Amino acid sequence: MINRRFYAVLVLLCCVFICGSNVEFGKKVFAQPVSTPSSPMIYGDGVHDDTKVLQAMLDEKSACVKFPLPKVCYLISSPLKIHSGQELVLDRYCHIKLMPNSNCVMLKNAVPEKGNENITVTGGIWDLNNLEQEKNPIHFSGNSKLFREFNPNVYDGTVMSFYNVKNLRIAHMTIKDPVTFSIMLNRLSQFTVEDITFDFNHGNPWAVNMDGVHLCGHCHFGVIRNLKGSCYDDMVALNADEGDPGPITDIQVDGLFADDCHSAVRLLSANHPVERISISNVYGTYYQYCIGVTKYYAGTDGYFDGIVLKNIFASKAPRHSLYRKDGSMVYPLIWLQGGLKVKNISIENVYRKEKNVAIETIGIDKNVIVENLSLNNIVQENLLSDQFPLVLNKGNIANLFTNGLRSQGGEALVNEGDIKTRITAE
């Protein structure tokens, strides 16, 4: 019995001696300035650059890397690179910030050219510190191909960028003040992005082009869910003709929550198809559109198939001059842009109570060709003096299926295009 007690006390003393400066019983554990001959100093004081030591932790290629909680915040000056088979864990509100004039992405996969797999990133407040970086390169770089082709060596104002990754998970974090996009994904398969909060406070120099989760070409089998916070562009963008252009297929978007946001979701196809997409449970107010099915770029007709939009509880937000949209087109809440070919699209359970902008709930532009459009349980309550239709069609619809179209303050359906066959359960 004596020997057992002796050894227990000895082990406890050794643990206290080894942990030393990092342990305070009953309190949080903070990173302390520590250095060894084989590793640089880690500060976490919001003054010194911690890039080298944080990258050294990742380069050990341990299966799970956890950054200690900093006393103030971590500062980095170049991209952190995460390896295959690696999980990076930060405490939920661990603050990591890009140093002034760094002009780079904060986190990316280590080998985009050859590809990576099995990467997880959770936690943290990832702060690009946008006012202290170069201005929005979409407007000031002079690079007309920015975001139209993938180039990992070009400053694009994004916070995180992952290219050519299989099995990626990004979760439980805040993205703060990007210059352009928060999370850009390109050529991904089997991925999940969930529980993300967007904390956008200002643009550099304007509150524009600031997406939440931005998918480029060749993205397949993905889940994007539980996103909160207003963005100064699309909260979610599925843009097949950007980055490394190619098809986007088999994506689920579920649970978007924002007030006074540019838009919830953009789908974009100019030369590459977007197919088998589910968008559901969207809440809030949006000053451009809630969901846009778009072409945007010149090219052959955009192509969409297997598009399902359901459980949309949204309305229009006022367009403040801050957003630089004065005098531009006013978009419907759900918008199909001209120049598209849509094989199958279903829209169901839409509830809109409108008090800001008199524009149709569902708008289909000229030169949109739709083979099958299903509208089920679409409801609007117009609180404005100007009436507007629930559905305005200017395109060409082969087969329109309707059930439960209810409009207070405007006609349910106005057809200024061509509807060959309408089947209604009403």
- Domain locations in the chain as residue ranges: 85-424
Is the separation of the CB atoms in 244 and 217 below 8 Å?
Answer: yes
Q: Is the pLDDT of residue 238 over 80?
A: yes
| C-alpha pair distances (Å), 274 with each of 240, 248, 393 | 7, 5, 22
Pairing of strands 34-36, 39-42: antiparallel
**pLDDT given for residue 26 in this prediction:** 41
CATH no. for 85-424: 2.160.20
- Determine phi and psi for 16, rounding to 5 degrees: -65, -40
> What is d(CA 138, CA 228) in angstroms, rounded to the nearest whole number?
25
Q: Report the first-to-last Cα separation within the chain, whole angstroms.
A: 84
> What is d(CA 6, CA 221) in angstroms, rounded to the nearest whole number?
57
Residue scoring higher pLDDT (406 or 32)? 406
Q: What pLDDT, in 10s, does the model give residues 292-316? A: 999 998 777 789 999 999 999 999 9
Q: What is the mean pLDDT of the chain?
A: 91
| Confidence label for 34 from pLDDT (cuts 50, 70 and 90) | very low
| Confidence label for 23 from pLDDT (cuts 50, 70 and 90) | very low
230, HSE (Cβ side, Cα atoms, 13 Å): 18
**Mean pLDDT of all residues in 60-77:** 97
| Confidence label for 25 from pLDDT (cuts 50, 70 and 90) | very low
Q: Is the pLDDT of residue 252 over 80?
A: yes
> What is d(CA 115, CA 148) in angstroms, rounded to the nearest whole number?
20
> What is d(CA 388, CA 398) in angstroms, rounded to the nearest whole number?
24
Q: What pLDDT, in 10s, does the model give residues 206-232? A: 999 999 999 999 999 999 999 999 999
> What is d(CA 137, CA 146) in angstroms, rounded to the nearest whole number?
8
> What is d(CA 200, CA 228) in angstroms, rounded to the nearest whole number?
11
Three-state SS for 311?
strand
Least confident of 85-94, 101-110, 138-147, 235-244: 138-147
| Confidence label for 27 from pLDDT (cuts 50, 70 and 90) | very low
Sole residue written with tokens 């100007």? 386
Q: Give the predicted TM-score (pTM) of the model.
A: 0.90
- Radius of gyration (Cα) for the chain, nearest Å? 25
Strand (E) or helix (H) holding 281: strand 274-286
Angle, CA of 367, 294 and 162, to the nearest 5°: 155
CB atoms closer than 10 angstroms to residue 347: 22
Sole residue written with tokens 């100019």? 270
Three-state SS for 14?
helix
Is the separation of the CB atoms in 361 and 332 below 8 Å?
Answer: yes
Q: Is the pLDDT of residue 7 over 50?
A: no
In the DSSP assignment, the letter for residue 25 is T
Q: What pLDDT, in 10s, does the model give residues 102-159? A: 999 999 999 999 999 999 999 999 999 999 999 999 998 877 677 877 788 889 999 9
C-alpha dihedral sign at 77, 143, 287, 376? negative
Is the separation of the CB atoms in 260 and 285 below 8 Å?
Answer: yes
Least confident of 6-10, 173-177, 259-263: 6-10
**Mean pLDDT of all residues in 327-332:** 87
**pLDDT given for residue 14 in this prediction:** 42
Q: Is the pLDDT of residue 4 over 90?
A: no
Q: Is the pLDDT of residue 388 over 90?
A: yes
Strand (E) or helix (H) holding 377: strand 369-382
Residue scoring higher pLDDT (274 or 12)? 274
> pLDDT above 70 covers what percent of the chain?
90
**pLDDT given for residue 144 in this prediction:** 67
> What is d(CA 247, CA 220) in angstroms, rounded to the nearest whole number?
8
Q: What pLDDT, in 10s, does the model give residues 347-371? A: 999 999 999 999 999 999 999 999 9
Q: Token pair of 192, please?
A: 């999940």
Percentages helix, strand, coil for the chain, rounded to the nearest 5? 10, 50, 40
- Determine phi and psi for 56, rounding to 5 degrees: -60, -35
Distance of CA 23 to the CA centre of its chain: 37
> What is d(CA 133, CA 104) in angstroms, rounded to the nearest whole number?
9
Three-state SS for 11?
helix
Q: Is the pLDDT of residue 67 over 90?
A: yes
CB atoms closer than 10 angstroms to residue 59: 12
Is the separation of the CB atoms in 240 and 247 below 8 Å?
Answer: yes
> What is d(CA 92, CA 262) in angstroms, rounded to the nearest whole number?
27
**pLDDT given for residue 39 in this prediction:** 52
Least confident of 22-26, 44-48, 340-344: 22-26
Q: Token pair of 391, please?
A: 């559905």
Residue 33: is the preceding peptide bond cis (ω within 30°)? no
**pLDDT given for residue 391 in this prediction:** 98
**pLDDT given for residue 172 in this prediction:** 98
Q: Is the pLDDT of residue 166 over 80?
A: yes
Q: Token pair of 204, please?
A: 């550099």
Least confident of 36-40, 57-61, 373-377: 36-40
Is the separation of the CB atoms in 175 and 196 below 8 Å?
Answer: yes
**pLDDT given for residue 70 in this prediction:** 97
Across the strands, what pairs with 182? none
Beta strands in 151-273 (DSSP E): 160-176, 183-199, 213-215, 219-228, 234-239, 248-261, 263-268
